[in-house]
Amino acid sequence: MTLLTVDPQAIDWARAQFALTAIYHWLFVPLTIGLALIMGIMETCYYRTGKDFWRIATRFWQRMFGINFAMGVATGIILEFEFGTNWSNYSWFVGDIFGAPLAIEGIIAFFLESTFVAVMYFGWEKVSRGFHLASTWLTGLGATISAWWILVANAWMQHPVGCEFNPDTMRNEMYSFFDVALSPYAVDKFCHTVTSAWIIGAVFVVGVSAWYLLKNREAERELALQSMKIGAIVGLISSVAAAVTGDESAYRVADVQPMKLAAMEALYNGGEDQSLTALAWVNPFQQPDYKNEAEAPMRLAIPNGLSILATRTLHGYVPGVNDILKGYTRQDGTVEPSAQEKMERGRIAIAALKEYRESNGKDKEQQLAKLKDNIQYMGYGFIKDESELVPYIPVNFWAFRIMVGFGTLFILVFAFMIFLNWKKKTASQPINDGGQPFGPYPKWLLWLSIILIPCAYIASESGWLVAEFGRQPWTIQDMLPVSASVSDIGSGAVATTFFLFLTLFTALLIVEINIMLKQIKRGLAL
């Protein structure tokens, strides 16, 4: 029971430090995955056509990839170390499960990347074109496989499967690796996350190419026009795919994390025929009074949209925040207990576990039976008030709409670019001055392409805010709350390292941006 005596400030600082590291890490990872796809496509064009232009274009974007790749590795290593330093209770409790995908990621994926990235950069004149092409694709595949295993671990935290609690070791132990590695939640999360990373790669390529056109860089003109074509195609396909996988992810969230969906929608009182909120006024700085408000004010909604999204039926029942707290009946007829009942059964489970470990004989078997009857709610035994079970609604509500809003914008912009290329077919048309179109693109579209680069990152980070804030107060959904996961360390130590990491990561980001800008200004010049 010492888990409950951890300094509350240490919990807040540990959360802040992990969030800081994860946010910075995710600034580098999606661009790595996205550029890997762009590079692979361009080198495939070189392999098929033999045109030297495609080799030059591939090597240019490989420079961008290499700078970003190095930064991602540095922040990723620190992120994994924090599980042991700040979250040792969590690591002890589920290390047998959570450690497996992380170990595979390090052994297989990282070595795959590190092996073939050397051939990709230094093997242009030393290996055959076919082998070099394979090395480029395998480098990208390694980065994507890394993402797969990390996302498997995260998906398991959102929806724990393939494990059972062992009261003798006080640990959760895996009984099915395949249930963990191939859970539908993990597959949906991987597909949605990777397609969003491809969007960032496409937006970056299109934005840099637009800058070359705006600057009338004749040496990079063909690079810019061809890169914008490929970037727009990749971007449109990825944006549509992200919308489809996002819809499937939302359906999965409705099934296993209904409170997260309720927070995303600011849905306080659910029911059948639920509308999907487009916009509403949710104060971003204050948790709404969900117990006394019928719905968020000034709400614009799509009729029956949420029922379709959450249940795949027009009139499906979707629970709101209050329904989940009070208890409700699911679509399949299963009765979900109220929060108070879950908390009470959780305390029974904790007491039974304590008695089981201290007793012998028949009483031991009785306590084990009581524990098994209530084990699924044991995490709720650490919750003091049911309000803790409601995540911060404003962050979930607005982050979700920022992500969806920018995603819709990306689809429209990429589709318009492809339309202009198809309509005018002016890839070889000279660039004009005086505000006239640059290639097939109007000047305003080129400026918008540059502006969309930070927007893509904001959309991607917003998706992660929804995923992680929506799971609160749980480190592992319904199993282990954050308050019982943190290491028993002083808040001062964690706060000190927080500011050290903040300084370090900010410096790394400034260095990367500076190097990237210099490489972009340098262009194709050697």
Q: What is the 3-state secondary structure (H, E, C) of 202-263?
A: HHHHHHHHHHHHHCCCHHHHHHHHHHHHHHHHHHHHHHHHHHHHHHHHHHHHHHHCHHHHHH
Q: Write out pLDDT tens, residues 345-375.
A: 999 999 998 888 888 767 788 888 888 898 8
Question: How many CA atoms does the CB half-sphere of 3 hold within 13 Å?
Answer: 19
Q: What is the pLDDT of residue 6?
A: 64
The two three-digit tokens of residue 153, written as one number: 């671990």
Q: What is the pLDDT of residue 400?
A: 94
In this prediction, residues 148-176 reach a mean pLDDT of 89
Q: Write out pLDDT tens, residues 74-86.
A: 777 787 788 878 8
Q: Write out pLDDT tens, residues 377-426.
A: 999 999 999 999 999 999 999 999 999 999 999 999 999 999 998 876 64
- AA letter at 66: G
The two three-digit tokens of residue 257, written as one number: 């994390």
In this prediction, residues 426-450 reach a mean pLDDT of 67
**Residues 6 or more apart in contact with residue 55 via CB below 8 angstroms:** 43, 46, 124
Q: What is the pLDDT of residue 425?
A: 65
Q: What is the pLDDT of residue 1?
A: 39
The two three-digit tokens of residue 29, written as one number: 């990872």
> Pairing state of beta strands 276-279 and 300-302?
antiparallel
Task: Compute how many other C-beta atoms are within 10 angstroms of the C-beta atom of residue 179.
Answer: 15
In this prediction, residues 150-165 reach a mean pLDDT of 90
How wide is the angle at C-alpha 316 spanned by C-alphas 312 and 318, nearest 5°?
105
**What's the CA gap between 82 and 78, in Å, rounded?**
6
Q: What is the pLDDT of residue 295?
A: 84
Check if the beta carbon of residue 439 is closer than 8 Å to that of residue 429: yes
How wide is the angle at C-alpha 64 spanned by C-alphas 59 and 66, nearest 5°?
85
Residue burial 446-459, b: 16+ Cβ < 10 Å; e: rest: bebbbebbebbbeb
Q: What is the pLDDT of residue 2?
A: 41
Q: What is the pLDDT of residue 526?
A: 57
In this prediction, residues 206-222 reach a mean pLDDT of 90
For the chain, what is the total number of helices (H) and then of strands (E)? 16, 8
Helix (H, G, I), strand (E, B) or coil at 462: helix
Q: Using CA of residue 405, residue 246, residue 471, residue 26, what is the dihedral sign?
A: negative
- When pLDDT is cut at 50, 70 and 90, the band that residue 118 belongs to is confident
**What's the CA gap between 102 and 111, in Å, rounded?**
13
Crossing angle of the two packed helices 8-49 and 443-469, in degrees rounded to 10 = 140
Reduced DSSP (H G I as helix, E B as strand, rest coil) percent helix, strand, coil of the chain, to 5: 70, 5, 20
Check if the beta carbon of residue 501 is closer than 8 Å to that of residue 19: no
Q: What is the pLDDT of residue 430?
A: 46
In this prediction, residues 268-285 reach a mean pLDDT of 91
Q: Is 166 exposed, middle or buried (0-12, 13-18, 19+ CB in 10 A)?
A: exposed
Q: Write out pLDDT tens, residues 192-210.
A: 999 999 999 999 999 999 9
Provide the percentage of residues in the chain whose pLDDT is more than 70: 95
Check if the beta carbon of residue 304 is closer than 8 Å to that of residue 275: yes
In this prediction, residues 28-49 reach a mean pLDDT of 93
Check if the beta carbon of residue 42 is closer than 8 Å to that of residue 54: yes
The two three-digit tokens of residue 22, written as one number: 């994860």
Q: What is the pTM of this model?
A: 0.90
Q: What is the pLDDT of residue 331?
A: 79
Provide the percentage of residues in the chain whose pLDDT is more than 90: 49
Q: What is the pLDDT of residue 107?
A: 78
Residue 508 has pLDDT above 80, yes or no: yes
In this prediction, residues 221-250 reach a mean pLDDT of 93
Q: Length of the chain, please?
A: 526
Q: Name the nearest CA neighbour of 170 among 1, 380, 344.
A: 1
- When pLDDT is cut at 50, 70 and 90, the band that residue 25 belongs to is confident
Helix (H, G, I), strand (E, B) or coil at 378: helix
Q: What is the pLDDT of residue 415?
A: 95
Residue 3 has pLDDT above 60, yes or no: no
- When pLDDT is cut at 50, 70 and 90, the band that residue 437 belongs to is very low
User: Please, what is the average pLDDT of the chain?
Assistant: 88
**What's the CA gap between 246 and 233, in Å, rounded?**
20
Position with higher pLDDT, 427 vs 24: 24
- Greatest alpha-carbon pair distance for the chain in Å reads 91
CA 333 to chain centre: 32
For residue 179, is it left (φ>0), alpha (ψ between -120 and 50) or beta? alpha
- When pLDDT is cut at 50, 70 and 90, the band that residue 433 belongs to is very low
Check if the beta carbon of residue 290 is closer than 8 Å to that of residue 323: no
